[in-house]
């Protein structure tokens, strides 16, 4: 009779299945909600190579209200009800130099906002950029997935499902 292993670690397959069941696994693209910006759902590319998350915004301008800095911008066509663009106003976190995938650097407005991924609600930093030629209006960067929050399976899509509105 062979000895039994005591306290054996669960297999990687079982650990992954558990993470998927708990909603901690993302595919290379996911549905994201932006409740602070009144966006119920938007497609995002999950990019572990990008540090900062990015959102396609047009005409961003810095304004001051009650002594605080804000950025006003337009999200072109993300309303779930099909009624067109959303005019947004968000507190300005900072202006930051961001290096794009092609190596060029540009100064961008950065906001802090909540995102919904499946049943998770997270506060993340998002840079506002012109992503009109990109395949996805949002890029979910690695700092949004930090601290072991998520595992990414690059061969899968939409594992988290549609965001749960809160």
Confidence of residue 125 (pLDDT cuts 50, 70, 90): very high
Confidence of residue 132 (pLDDT cuts 50, 70, 90): confident
Measured CA to CA, the distance from residue 46 to residue 27 in angstroms comes to 7
Rounded percentage of the chain residues whose pLDDT exceeds 90? 57
End-to-end CA distance of the chain: 55
Of 127, 30, 116, give the one whose Cα is nearest residue 73.
127
Other CB atoms within 10 Å distance of the CB of residue 93:
16
Cβ atoms of 36 and 55 closer than 8 Å: no
Give me the count of residues in the chain: 166
Instruction: Read off the pLDDT of residues 67-82 as tens digits, 9 standing for 90 and up.
Output: 999 999 999 876 555 5
In the chain, what are the domains? Answer: 16-153 (2.40.70.10)
Across the strands, what pairs with 124? 113
Average pLDDT over residues 131-154: 87
Which uninterrupted H or E stretch holds 107?
strand 105-117
- Please give the pLDDT value at position 36: 96
Average pLDDT, the chain: 86
Alpha helices in 1-158 (DSSP H): 12-21
Alpha helices in the chain (DSSP H): 12-21
Average pLDDT over residues 21-50: 90
């Amino acid at each position: 009779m062979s000895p039994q292993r005591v306290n054996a670690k669960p297999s990687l397959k079982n650990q992954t299945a558990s993470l998927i069941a708990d909603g901690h696994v993302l595919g290379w693209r996911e549905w994201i909600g932006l409740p602070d910006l009144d966006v119920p759902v938007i497609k995002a590319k999950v990019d572990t190579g990008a540090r900062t998350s990015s959102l396609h915004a047009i005409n961003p301008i810095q304004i001051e209200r009650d002594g605080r800095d804000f950025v006003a911008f337009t999200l072109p066509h993300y309303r779930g009800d099909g009624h067109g663009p959303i005019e947004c106003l968000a507190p300005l976190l900072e202006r930051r130099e961001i290096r794009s995938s092609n190596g060029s650097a540009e100064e961008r407005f950065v906001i802090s906002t909540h995102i919904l991924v499946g049943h998770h609600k997270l506060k993340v930093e998002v840079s506002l950029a012109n992503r009109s030629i990109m395949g996805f209006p949002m890029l979910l960067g690695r700092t949004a997935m930090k601290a072991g929050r998520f595992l990414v399976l690059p061969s899968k899509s939409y594992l988290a499902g549609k965001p749960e509105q809160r």
